[in-house]
Amino acid sequence: MLKTKRIVMHPNVEKFILKGANLMWPGVCNKDDLEEFEADDIIDIYTNDNKFIAVGAYGCNSTELEPDMKGIAAYILCIVNDFLWKMGDQVVLEPIEKP
């Protein structure tokens, strides 16, 4: 089974994502735990209570990440229950585990 990278967002950010916003860096709560990544890498986006909410693509490289980073963390590609989601098999994959 394919495993994907995972990013976790702060409480109350979900409502903005569901209205079409991209995920911004101030809304990410696991910045310090992220492994190296490249811009446009595909990621799963979860709420802080471990609920899968969307698929996105990183907005920058991990080498560009700063402590008080602003800007787009992930471009949202698909949200749970949107039209694209309903066309697929609605399977949520396990996140990539650290070695």
The CATH number covering residue 14 comes to: 2.30.130.10
Residue-level pLDDT at 68 = 87
Task: Kindly report each contact of residues 57-63 with a partner whose C-beta sits within 8 Å and lies 24 or more positions away, as own/partner.
Answer: 59/22, 61/37, 62/34, 62/35, 62/36, 62/37, 62/38, 63/36
Specify the number of domains making up the chain.
1
Can you read off the two tokens belonging to residue 86?
């309903």
Could you report the per-residue pLDDT of 29-67, keeping only the tens digit for each? 998 889 899 999 999 999 989 888 899 999 999 999 888
Domain range enclosing 57: 5-87
Residues recorded for the chain: 99
